Chains A and B, each alone.
Chain A
Amino acid sequence: MPTDPDPDLAALVARLRDGDQHALGELFARHRERLRRMVDIRLDHRLAGRVSASDVLQEAYIDALKRVEHYFAKPDQPFFGWLRLIVGQRLADVHREHLAGKRDAGREVGLHRDGAGADSGCLAACLLGNLSSPSRAAERNETHAQLEAALDRMDPLDREVLALRHFEELSNGDTADLLGIQPAAASKRYVRALARLKQILESLPGFAPGGSQAESAP
């Protein structure tokens, strides 16, 4: 079984394996922020108001509780990877349940491959989070549309790499595993995607990297 480099986490996983269900709650809590970001950027924006990221995580937690034995029967990946898989499956179910017939075939492909792909709209919303400061409110919608369009034009794999590396804080190795490509290729892709994103951001009004974000700190 791959052990977690963090001894705390490894101890928790060991407790869980020995049947201590509280350990799962604690593990979930430790990873919650990352899992939540994962859901944030993948939850279809049309579900806003109907399903929240917390709903998805809540249900995924129950799924995990039910299936945790399967993990220990065949622990072929780190525990976080497995948790992420569970959350991804739950997310796919949520999409299927709520958007049956509303997702076009293109999206369905992503849906079936590994839960939901990082949605350009969600990513754009994430990246624009700071543009809600009062002076920017008016620009926001237009900028959002531009950013979303630009992200849409990116190679989906590039987009996914950025989402995994930064929003989910996965390592290059985990990212490569998840996408089924070689670590070296994943690394190259990441640098290329960074360059592409930088171009996109620079092209947006009032969004030069390193510029405006500080003012929006609460």
Chain B
Amino acid sequence: MVLLWIDSIINNIPFLIEGLITTIVLTIISVALATLFGILLAMGRCYTRQPIPFLIYLYEKIFRGLPLLVIFFLLYFGLSQQGIHIKAFFAAIIGLVLHSTAYQIQIYRSAILAIPEGQKTAAISLGMTKSKTIYHIILPQVLRLSIPGWSNEFTILLKDTSIAFSIGVVELMARGDAITSMNPDAILYVLLFIAFLYFVLVFSINRGLNYLEKRFRISGYEMTTAR
């Protein structure tokens, strides 16, 4: 019996890999866009005049308050009722970006606030413009400080792509579901295998980001080894 279930996984590996690739593509595009928008909007919230910070704050509050599933349904089913048809894959990307950006703004904003004001004063005293100060002095430090929080958000987003299954995006979870409906006896093993694939993905991303964090650590800021 066990062999039969293993068979149903092995026979479907190419089918699962297609789903896995969609999951990865969905993750990479969404993370990249959400990171870009997150940084820009965090800068906007800290360094621009009203009403821009207030509007960003409003956006943040709204999208942190909505479940991802609701955002997906609104974009896919809600808009299509109004005659705006977005393909499921793109609706998923838009939904994930809108959702993750709202969270990521906080990550970068806390990093911005952690940088001593004096460094900005010093850069301006050298004759740097405000934008040069942000680009050369603030941003490189913000990115370093944001890696731990960002790696959290990265893994959350990766796992959230599975919700895109609900609007019909054929990603890993959707493929897993298709296999279990064809092999109802194997449901536990197939799901465990899917879970294992997600875990491996998340684990390797975290290892990679750990490396990134060490690589860009500023000398002299090593953690103490004292007990």
Chain A bound to chain B = no
